[in-house]
Structure 1
Amino acid sequence: MKICLINNLLPPYNRGGAEKVLIKMATDLKQKNDVFIITTRPHKPDLGINSDFRTLYIKSNYYNLYKKNIIYRLFWQISNIYSFKQFQEILHILNTEKPDLVITHNLMGLGHMSALAISQLAITHHHFLHDIQLLHPSGLMFYSKERILNSLPAKIYQKLSRKFIGSPDLIISPSNWLLQEHLRRGFFPTSKTEIRPFTETIEDSDKTTPSGPKKNLFFAGQIEKHKGIIFLIKAFLKLAPDDFTLKIAGTGSLLKKAKKIAKNDKRITFFGNLDKAVLKTEMKKSDLLIVPSSCYENSPLIISEARALKVPVLASRIGGIPEAVGKDDKLFTPLSASDLFAKIKDFNK
């Protein structure tokens, strides 16, 4: 079978979990199928191309969008909805390649009309939900700001999203929470749906044997507001005992701010980006993975990675996260430093 995967970003132009999911899916499907990928590349910088899969690139400024001012982003979002040029490019690629199945992921930057190209050619279409990009152009909904999805601009945006995405043959979501957020707003009326939680396979020799007090805390993810990292650092400085440590893996636009807030506290270590092997090693050294998200996340991949390693997880009670954690993991109220450290104490009882 010939399968086309479509996502807005792909390594080396990647930021989060969606790209990891795409690569894993492509790797698995490649074993028995002819797989190719459609994705975007910015005009600058040129970080190279992906050589692991046959990849067809479409020019887009999406990768650099976060650097632009709000006026630029507003007009960019409007043009992204009605991106006829990208629609024509994708239509041409699909018409030339003639895949049996198209699996779309994040379409921001490829244009909402890209889904129309698939339906126009009557190709079997599966869509994988990663976040709320079809409900709000930011893809983010913060704790205590839930009304953002019910604002008039958001409702107009959702109406256009529903029109262009239509009802793919199958909708895949790692969490029931994310799927229901779409269904109750009228999305995918005739689509079949499937909940497909993220899983990680780890050799038994790589698993940890948790024991002793939970003193060494670990965070891995983007250093951005929605990941709750600034909250975590402030809470740690305020409430963590002197013998606690906090190790932070990842990078992002708030890295400089995060280091400034940490005030050279010797208990806090910043690693920057780590490759998968080193990340696994550092996580195994920790006593507790903290996932302090302040936005409604779907199903953070880092949770499944920690569970595979038998590393306990303490995460925000928000979005699809409660579905992702294990029975021995714990949840805390988002942005509550007191509840965060109360739950750490619960681990240590």
Structure 2
Amino acid sequence: MRILVVSAMFPPNVLGGAEISAFNLSSWLQKQGHEIGVLTAAKSPSEEKFGEIVDGMKIWSIYMPRPYPIFAQGAVEQKYLKPIWHLQDHLDPRNRSTVAKVLEEFRPDFCNVHYLTGIGHNVLSELGKRDIPVMYVMPDLALSCVRLTMFRDGKTCERQCSPCKASAAFKRSDFRSVRRIGFCAPSRANLERNARFQALDAYPTAHILNANKYPAPSVTRTASATVRFIYVGRLHAAKGVDMLIQAADMIHDLDYSLTIVGGGAEEETLRQKYGHRPRIEFTGHVPLQEAINRIAGSDVLCIPSIWLENSPGVVIQALGMGVPVIGSEVGGIPELVQHDETGLLVAPGDIAAWSSALKLLVVDRERLNKFQRNATSRANEFDQDFIGKRYAAFMDRIVNFGGRPAQ
């Protein structure tokens, strides 16, 4: 098939895991003989591409009409620009006309939607006009929440606020304009949460892990008397890093180290607050290969998120390298980590419980060794070919879907 991938962010422009997953699935489909086109957002007009071949894929990288590009989300100080940005993302007719040109040039048989925020959700109507089947991948809660996370003021939202209700209604109208559309998510928890607010039961749905293939580590783990904990990811309040460091502080008399890998909005605050701690190292943002090497050289990965994480790729990377995980019992994390088998699940935001979990693996090395052996045995579950075939089967199911029943 000729498959168009729509993802506002796409390598080499990477801010998170969604765009890495979009690239990995696209690359796998390309290896199966499909022709791949990609529509993504450019950081600036000078970076625009119009059907250029990159890594064997046809790339349309277009600077979308917005007050600021999606890559500046979270860094914009003028808060009054945000409502304008979102209104354009929902309603601007130039979103549709931009996509229409790409559709006419590439003429896809199928469309994989990975990340519409920044391209415009109303572009689905252009796919509907042409009766192009669509697989809508949900790496987050954007279908139900303007912020993408259903997380606000330090806690998960149990209900939609008025702006999110309005946004969800527009998005519902948009995806209903596509006759053959199916929804999948790497996390069953997030699939069910989106389905709760968007009534997706009339459509094909699936829970499929990301078909990622990560570079192998170029280092080998060496034995250490010190238990080496590591966090890898964005430094954002929803990630719970501040809480993790407080939990580690409570066992300061034990032999451990904690490395914080990544950058983000909270980096400077965390460095100022904890940078002087002798057991804690902040690396800042590092290239993917270095992040993988640092995980491989550690003993335990920590994922202390307090929001509904989807299916963190960093957990899959760690388990695939035999590195057990202490993770928050929230979102899709419990779907990856088997409690007391490949790691520990801990109540999100519970500093005392997290401190106890860290202490347990410092003092009980036999349990840690067991977790490492069990994690290694699960590596085949994350094989790209195995997961890619599940995506291919789901795409076939969408192609043969007769459409949502009339209401």
Q: TM-score, normalised by structure 1?
A: 0.91
Answer whether contact 1:162 1:187 (CA < 8 A) is retained. no
**Partner of 2:281 in structure 1?**
269
Aligned equivalents of 1:23, 1:158: Cα separation in 2: 27
Q: How many residues align?
A: 349
**Partner of 1:179 in structure 2?**
191
Aligned equivalents of 1:304, 1:96: Cα separation in 2: 37
Answer whether contact 1:249 1:270 (CA < 8 A) is retained. yes
SS of structure 1 residue aligned to 2:165: helix
Aligned equivalents of 1:176, 1:93: Cα separation in 2: 32
Aligned equivalents of 2:222, 2:307: Cα separation in 1: 29
**Partner of 2:23 in structure 1?**
23
Asked if 1:63 corresponds to 2:71, the answer is: yes
- Distance apart, 1:281 and its partner CA: 1.9
Aligned equivalents of 2:206, 2:332: Cα separation in 1: 15
Structure 1 residues 1-349: aligned runs within 5 Å: 1-31=1-31, 32-43=33-44, 51-52=54-55, 53-60=57-64, 61-68=69-76, 69-142=78-151, 145-147=155-157, 149-166=159-176, 168-198=180-210, 215-326=227-338, 327-347=341-361, 348-349=363-364
Answer whether contact 1:104 1:128 (CA < 8 A) is retained. yes
1:335 counterpart letter in structure 2: G
- Pair 1:329–1:200, CA change in 2 (3 A): farther
Aligned equivalents of 1:45, 1:246: Cα separation in 2: 41
SS of structure 2 residue aligned to 1:344: helix
Aligned equivalents of 1:16, 1:246: Cα separation in 2: 22
Q: Larger deviation: 119-128 or 157-166?
A: 157-166
- Distance apart, 1:322 and its partner CA: 0.8
Q: TM-score, normalised by structure 2?
A: 0.78
Aligned equivalents of 1:247, 1:217: Cα separation in 2: 6
- Pair 1:45–1:240, CA change in 2 (3 A): farther
Runs of at least 5 residues in structure 2 that lack an aligned partner in the other structure? 365-407
Aligned equivalents of 1:312, 1:213: Cα separation in 2: 17
Give the superposed CA RMSD.
2.8
- Distance apart, 1:325 and its partner CA: 1.6
Aligned equivalents of 2:6, 2:243: Cα separation in 1: 34
Aligned equivalents of 2:4, 2:17: Cα separation in 1: 19
Aligned equivalents of 1:220, 1:265: Cα separation in 2: 18
- Distance apart, 1:172 and its partner CA: 1.6
Aligned equivalents of 1:45, 1:225: Cα separation in 2: 33
- Pair 1:98–1:225, CA change in 2 (3 A): same
Aligned equivalents of 2:181, 2:219: Cα separation in 1: 38
Aligned equivalents of 1:319, 1:139: Cα separation in 2: 14
- Pair 1:178–1:208, CA change in 2 (3 A): farther
Q: Deviations over 1:97-124 (max 9, x none)?
A: 1111100011001111011111111111
SS of structure 2 residue aligned to 1:150: coil
2:72 counterpart letter in structure 1: N
- Pair 1:320–1:213, CA change in 2 (3 A): farther
Aligned equivalents of 2:360, 2:192: Cα separation in 1: 32
Aligned equivalents of 1:157, 1:148: Cα separation in 2: 16
How much identity, in percent, do the aligned residues show? 21
Q: Deviations over 1:51-102 (max 9, x none)?
A: 3332102213211132223211122111211021011110121122111110
Q: Larger deviation: 56-65 or 21-30?
A: 56-65
1:39 counterpart letter in structure 2: T
- Pair 1:29–1:179, CA change in 2 (3 A): same
Runs of at least 5 residues in structure 1 that lack an aligned partner in the other structure? none
Answer whether contact 1:234 1:261 (CA < 8 A) is retained. no
Answer whether contact 1:304 1:324 (CA < 8 A) is retained. yes
SS of structure 2 residue aligned to 1:122: coil
Q: Larger deviation: 180-189 or 256-265?
A: 180-189
